[in-house]
Amino acid sequence: MKDVSDPYDLFDAWYAEARKSEPSDPNAMALATATADGVPSVRIVLLKGLDRRGFVFYTNMESRKGAELRDNPRAALCFHWKSAKRQVRIEGAIGPVSDAEADAYFASRPRDSRIGAWASDQSRPLDDRSTFEARIREFDAKFPGENVPRPPFWSGYRVEPNRIEFWQDREFRLHDRLVFTPTGPGGGWAVERLYP
């Protein structure tokens, strides 16, 4: 792994390669959150936006992850691209995306996914699958056609990195690791190589 000064440039290059080589969901990332008292939880979500402000995903804000992010607005992400033998770990604070960003992404989703966002009380108990299917029919009738507005409880979060680590597999477990940490408000990054 060559030394570089900007983690976003390196991520963009690795992500472009992953989109060519990964058989499915190269944008899949593990999202780790924790309760206010530090009990961790992890699940897979999809990266839906990336710029110099951070890494974006969308969810029901009343879900378990939404509650944990409200009470403890920090998270960790992990991309693992097995075919490329690479991993990227990101840690940082959570911030909301703007309403305009959330509206634009929600409108880009297939209609059935938009209806599903209304119908699902994500992470809460469900007595029977038929109850969920009835709610899908209810919201399908409520929002005929393509105009399905974004629910008020559904939006996006941006992980604003304070640490980004790149890991490249090497033979005999002699892996290559670079970690980036911000140097201050000017947008610079300190780079450090780590032992495998």
Catalytic residue among 43, 64, 89, 173: 173
43 is catalytic: no
65 within 8 A of 166, measured Cβ to Cβ: no
Q: Which of 74, 52, 57 is nearest to 6 (CA)?
A: 52
Q: Which of 149, 139, 13, 159 is nearest to 74 (CA)?
A: 159
Residues 6+ apart with CB under 8 A from 42: 30, 31, 32, 33
What is the length of the chain?
A: 196
Residues 6+ apart with CB under 8 A from 68: 33, 34, 35, 41
- For every residue of 81-93, DSSP letters joined together read EGGGTEEEEEEEE
The secondary structure of residue 10, as a DSSP letter, is H
| Active centre residues (catalytic) | 173
